[in-house]
Structure 1
Amino acid sequence: MSYVLPKEFVTRMIDAGESKIFMSTRDTLIRAYMAGAILALSAAFAVTVAVQTGVPLVGALLFPVGFCLLYLLGFDLLTGVFTLVPLALIDRRPGVTMQGVLRNWGLVFAGNFAGALTVAVMMAIVCTYAFSQAPDAVGLKLGSIGQSRTVGYAEHGMAGMLTLFVRGVLCNWMVSTGVVGAMMSTSVPGKVIAMWMPVMLFFAMAFEHSVVNMFLFPAGLMLGGDFSIADYLVWNEIPTVLGNLVGGLAFVGLALYSTHARTATARVPQARAATATDTAVPRRA
């Protein structure tokens, strides 16, 4: 069967985290760049479909196509390495250090941002005919998303900041479940189905994904969104990154590791007490 048992795919999670720590800077950046670009294209696709149909759920149903493609191609998102890489440190793999974990996170963040920003510039060109006219309907939508999800949170003060953080937690709880989903099966259809479901959920519920936002907000700024770079960083990206870290590591990585890789001592089944009837020699009639 193509299904992989939890104890087996959790070992794969730890192995994957270890391999990413020792990956070269060149390969880490290339894989992160491509992941950010593909996910950004998928987000642009989802927004376009939602605008054309007037039904946001349709965009959410189709958004996971980019996520599935980038993981099948072996590329890396920040949200995924938040979950996988620390497991190699916790498991005390030889040569794995906190410095190595932070190095991986930093490189993946930089690569994801560069890839998402590249697509943001391209989409801004597409939506404005190379900045020669006002943004089209998709461009206007991209601008409004950036404004509502920065200034909109800021209007509520610390309550808005907490809401933003929690949405980041919930997002990577689902997205990292999708990352793990790719390890639950040995077949491509099985991997895609396992990845598709939680990623669709996060997008439909408008949770905050740090890499998707690396596309949405720069694109929004280029397309006339009424917010600043400081608004983007303080009232979205930084709290979202922290929320994504907590959601992926606590609710997916550590939860699976603690119960499948480092299980507690199993309870010994109590033997059925022997009764006098069980042990007595049968009486003769």
Structure 2
Amino acid sequence: MSYLSPPEFVRKMIDAGESKAAMSTRDTVIRAYMAGAILALAAAFAVTITVQTGNALVGALLFPVGFCLLYLLGFDLLTGVFTLVPLAWLDRRPGVTVRSVLRNWGWVFVGNFAGALTVAAMISAIVTFGFSVDPDEVGRRLGEIGESRTVGYAEHGAAGMFTLFLRGVLCNWMVSTGVVAAMMSSSVSGKVIAMWMPIIVFFYMGFEHSVVNMFLFPSGLMLGGGFSIGDYLLWNEIPTVVGNLVGGLAFVGLTLYATHARTAPERGVEADEPTAKRAVRLGGP
């Protein structure tokens, strides 16, 4: 059957985490670089569609094409390894240590950022004809996104930071659900359908994805957005990374692991005896 039961795909989650923790630095960076680049292209695609159609829902409906492609190709996003790799450590897989988990996260971050930055430079050059003219409509929109989602949060102080963090949490709750959903099926169509649904939710709701932002904000800076590198790091990337970690690990990885890999013992019949006796007394079955 193409559908895997929860205990089966949770075992696949743990196996995937173990594999990623043991992966060479070379392969980790290459796969992360390509994931960051493809997701950045998908973000540029979605922004272009939104600008041209005037309908953000259309952009959100089509954005998951990049997410599906990168996971079918076996590439890694930071948001995914936040959820999967710690499970191998919790499951006491041989050789998986806290250090190897952190090492994987660090190299995936580097690779994702490099890939997204590459595409940011390319797209910025395209929408300005090699930086020879002012940005076109898509370029101006990229600059506005960077400004509204950095300075816009900063204007609200601590409340803005808390909102940013929560958007990061909710984002990776959905994105990691998409990562896990791909493991529910052994068919390409099943994987794509399962991944597509939660990714639409995250993108249309405007939640904060650390890797998407590695494209949006550097491109915004290149295109004259009214914010600084410090604004980007303090009022978006760092809180978003923390929120993504909490959302993916707490609401997806740990919950699935706790109930499907470390399932609590079932209640014994003794616990239901009073109910059974009452049913007999009342003439029930």
The corresponding residue for 1:106 is 106
Letter in 2 for 1:169: V
Partner Cα distance (1:14, 1:215) in 2? 30
- Could you say what the CA RMSD is over the residues aligned between the two structures, in angstroms? 1.4
TM-score with structure 2 length normalisation?
0.95
CA distance in 2: counterparts of 1:77 and 1:275, whole angstroms: 57
* 1:9 Cα deviation from its structure 2 partner: 0.2
Secondary structure of 1:129's counterpart equals coil
> Are 1:217 and 2:217 matched, yes or no?
yes
3-state SS of 1:263 partner: coil
CA distance in 2, matches of 1:12, 1:202: 24
Q: How does 1:191-206 map to 2 (within 5 A)?
A: 191-206=191-206
Q: 1:90 is matched with which residue?
A: 90
Q: Give yes or no for the alignment of 1:138 onto 2:138.
A: yes
Q: Which string of whole-angstrom CA distances, capped at 9 and with x for unpartnered residues, describes residues 226-254 of structure 1?
A: 00000000000000000000000000000
Question: Which 5+ residue runs of structure 2 have no aligned equivalent?
Answer: none
| CA–CA distance in structure 1, aligned partners of residues 245 and 125 of structure 2 | 33
1:263 matched residue in structure 2: 263
Counterparts of 2:96 and 2:157, CA distance in 1: 40
CA distance in 1, matches of 2:7, 2:280: 39
User: The residue matched to 2:267 in structure 1 has which SS?
Assistant: coil
Residues 275, 33 of structure 1: alpha-carbon distance in 2 compared, 3 angstrom cutoff: closer
Structure 1 equivalent of residue 229 of structure 2: 229
**Residue 184 of structure 2 aligns to a residue in which SS?**
coil
**Is 2:4 the partner of 1:10?**
no
For the pair shown, the structure with the greater C-alpha radius of gyration is 1
Q: Map 1:1-285 onto structure 2 (within 5 A).
A: 1-269=1-269, 270=272
Identity, in percent, stands at 77
Distance 2:163 2:240 in 1: 10
Deviation for aligned residue 1:275: 7.0
Residues in 2 aligned to 1:241 and 1:157: alpha-carbon distance in whole angstroms: 18
Q: Kindly state the Cα deviation for residue 268 of structure 1 after the two structures are TM-superposed.
A: 2.0
Amino acid in the other structure paired with 2:265: T
Cα distance per residue 1:160-194 (max 9 Å; x no partner): 00000000000000000000011000111110010
SS of corresponding position for 1:132:
coil
Q: How many residues align?
A: 277
Letter matched to residue 77 of structure 1:
L
Q: How far apart in 2 are the matches of 1:228 and 1:59?
A: 27
